Structure 1
Amino acid sequence: MKRTIIATVNNTSGVMNRITGLFARRHFNIESITVGMTENPSVSRMTFVVNVDDQRGLDQVIKQLNKQVDVLKVRDITDDAIVARELALIKVVAAPQHRGEISALAEPFRASIVDVGRESVTLQVTGDQQKVEALIDLLKPYGIKELARTGITAFKRGTKKSVFESPKYSIIN
């Protein structure tokens, strides 16, 4: 089963290596990993998508991650309401007579052409994994020269309740 794990960690050298090592020792395949600085430059956020055979093993890894000195917080957000996005750059073989078709294919995906060469175009698409996969599948017949994907980055959705619905912020008419 696929699980999405997020971890906030101190932004220091070697942290990613130690954390991915824990997954490797448990024989979990990391399908995707994204890491980037948060609003606080001394803290990074890691998003892992891993394939696991059983929940017990995953729970053990999360406990071990939480024991790491540089790990601030670890959560499995798979079953939560989340916002998850991926970015892909796709370089496609594109003779001048096919560029209009490729551009038309990209439009419903809100993909943009970010580079044009003599024999290729490069598209940028962001969205959920299914959206990215669907565009890649449509572009395959043209010939994909190169493909680079970021992997998924995600966090929990905000609450549906407005801050102004709170008794603390009641609006008087």
Structure 2
Amino acid sequence: MGQENKLFTVSIYTENNVGLLNRISAIFQRRHINVESINTSASEIKGVSRFTIVVKVTEEQIKKIIGQIEKQVEVIKAYYHTDEETVYQESCMFKMSSDLLFNEDEIQNVIKDSKARIVEVNKSFFVLEKSGTKGEIEKLYNQLNTYGFMQFVRSGRIAVTKNEMKISQMLEAFN
């Protein structure tokens, strides 16, 4: 019986090398797997970067993918987790006409109810920032979409695991 696809958050700890992103994305591309989101940042370890990638695959597929990722020379360790095993957020920003903020009472209610923050206001535009789950961001997007955006941008997922990842102790063992 085949496994069903589900969302996995992949955490990859790496040395920060040029070209690694291309090689990691090629691993997914070869298998015709669409990446739902990707984020790279510094990690909790000095000099070590962290990729956070969200994909929808079977557990069998994700195990093979992790194996391929870990074969990359610069990769220190890769993990995968389900949504239930992580705490995660996304972030987005909306740039909209200032006239809306001053003339549309309903927009002010939407902003307040969504717990979005106004991060910039001037004569011509205002900028809203919202962090939350994908669902919360999509709900706000749909509520504001009727008014029209000047710009919209959304981040990839950022996540931490509920259980400890022993990456720090593992690196200490190497040194």
Q: TM-score range by the shorter chain?
A: 0.7 to 0.9
2:15 aligned to which of 10, 14, 27: 10
Kindly state the Cα deviation for residue 157 of structure 1 after the two structures are TM-superposed: 1.9
2:103 aligned to which of 97, 102, 105: 97
Kindly state the Cα deviation for residue 115 of structure 1 after the two structures are TM-superposed: 1.9
Secondary structure at the aligned position of 1:40 is classed as coil
Identity, in percent, stands at 32
* Map of 1:112 onto structure 2: 117
C-alpha distance in 2 between matches for 1:25 and 1:43: 26
Cα pair 2:62 2:80 within 8 Å, conserved = no
In the alignment, structure 1 residue 60 sits paired with structure 2 residue 60 = no
* Map of 1:83 onto structure 2: 87
Cα pair 1:31 1:50 within 8 Å, conserved = yes
In the alignment, structure 1 residue 72 sits paired with structure 2 residue 76 = yes
In the alignment, structure 1 residue 42 sits paired with structure 2 residue 57 = no
Uncovered stretches (5+) of structure 1, i.e. residues with no partner: 160-173
C-alpha distance in 2 between matches for 1:37 and 1:10: 10
Amino acid at match of 2:59: Q
RMSD: 1.9
Higher mean Cα deviation, 87-96 or 142-151? 87-96
Secondary structure at the aligned position of 1:48 is classed as strand
* Map of 2:153 onto structure 1: 148
Kindly state the Cα deviation for residue 142 of structure 1 after the two structures are TM-superposed: 0.9
Secondary structure at the aligned position of 2:13 is classed as strand
Kindly state the Cα deviation for residue 94 of structure 1 after the two structures are TM-superposed: 4.3
Amino acid at match of 2:103: Q
Report the TM-score when normalising by structure 2. 0.80
Following superposition, which runs of at least 4 residues in structure 1 exceed 6 angstroms of deviation? none
Uncovered stretches (5+) of structure 2, i.e. residues with no partner: 165-175
